[in-house]
Amino acid sequence: MSVMLFSIRIFPVFILTPLLAVSGVPTKVLILWVLGLSVVMVSGLPTPLVEIDPSFFNLIGLAINELMIGVAFAFGLFTMFGAFHFGGRIIDVQMGFGVATVIDPATKNQAPLMGTFLNMLAVIVFISAGGLNLLIEGIAFSMTQMPIGSSIWQLDMSAIVAQFGAMFIFSVMIVAPAMIAILLLDVGIGVMARTMPQVNVFIISLPVKIFLGLFMLASSLKYLTPLLRNFFHSTFSYMEAVVSG
């Protein structure tokens, strides 16, 4: 019973976030991965045993409680990848890709072009940097801090609000060079439109915006290492704070 309840807790971490969905892992494999990880952690971690009332309504309440704890824990990952997604959306609108969409492999829905690219890039960087190992350590830490049967009210709600605000801050920081460059280009195009009204500035500016945006974004990627390090660190700090209360 403890294994099933703990699997409900960690289920949102791997299902509701694009961490493994981007790689196209089948749903059955994800479910087996979650169950196997739950068995290992429940049987291997020195957590206090909690007597569980096997009544139907009590099990439903515990399942909902564990699910909400898992959603709060997964919220850190969701905002981390959401920052890349939102930042890409900003660039899409500025470059003229606002009407262009692709199919997001995580949600199977339409998503912005650059947002999907940056989101997939974030997943690659996260896994290659050993983020998956740190995530499993964070899940184990949540098990020791909030054993099965813990109340959802032990969660630190202020950490959730702070992480939500950090998502928008980091999303702007990720695309700031390209965003500022395109903004300056818009100012120049506006001046050109006023001084040379006979020139069709819109047709000229569209390919220039696309080239400048892609160039600045590609040029700034190699300088994003300190920012990504701070962002990943803040995400794991959130996971630690939210379950520590």
Tens of pLDDT along 194-229?
888 777 777 788 888 888 888 888 888 778 778 887
Position 2 in a domain:
no
For residue 103, give its domain range: 72-244
Position 40 in a domain:
no
Instruction: State the pLDDT at residue 51.
Output: 63
Position 38 in a domain:
no
Rounded CA gap, 219 and 178, in Å? 9
Instruction: State the pLDDT at residue 105.
Output: 56
**What confidence tens digit (pLDDT) does each residue in 1-11 have?**
677 888 888 88
Position 22 in a domain:
no
Q: What is the mean pLDDT of residues 18-28?
A: 66
Position 56 in a domain:
no
Q: Is residue 49 pLDDT above 60, yes or no?
A: no
10 Å CB burial of residue 38 (0-12, 13-18, 19+) is buried
**What confidence tens digit (pLDDT) does each residue in 142-196 have?**
888 877 777 778 788 888 888 888 888 888 888 888 889 989 988 888 888 888 8
Position 100 in a domain:
yes
Q: Is residue 107 pLDDT above 60, yes or no?
A: no
> How much of the chain exceeds pLDDT 70, in percent?
86
Domain count, the chain: 1
| SS3 state of residue 183 | helix
User: Phi and psi for 101 in degrees, rounded to 5?
Assistant: -135, 160
pTM: 0.78
Say which range, 60-69, 93-102, 127-136, 172-181, has the weakest mean pLDDT. 93-102
| Contact assessment for residue 45 and residue 144, using Cβ atoms and an 8 Å cutoff | yes
Instruction: State the pLDDT at residue 48.
Output: 60
Position 64 in a domain:
no
Q: What is the mean pLDDT of residues 83-101?
A: 80
Of 112 and 208, which is predicted with more confidence?
208
Task: Name the residue among 142, 156, 159, 149 with its Cα closest to residue 65.
Answer: 149
Q: What is the mean pLDDT of residues 96-118?
A: 69
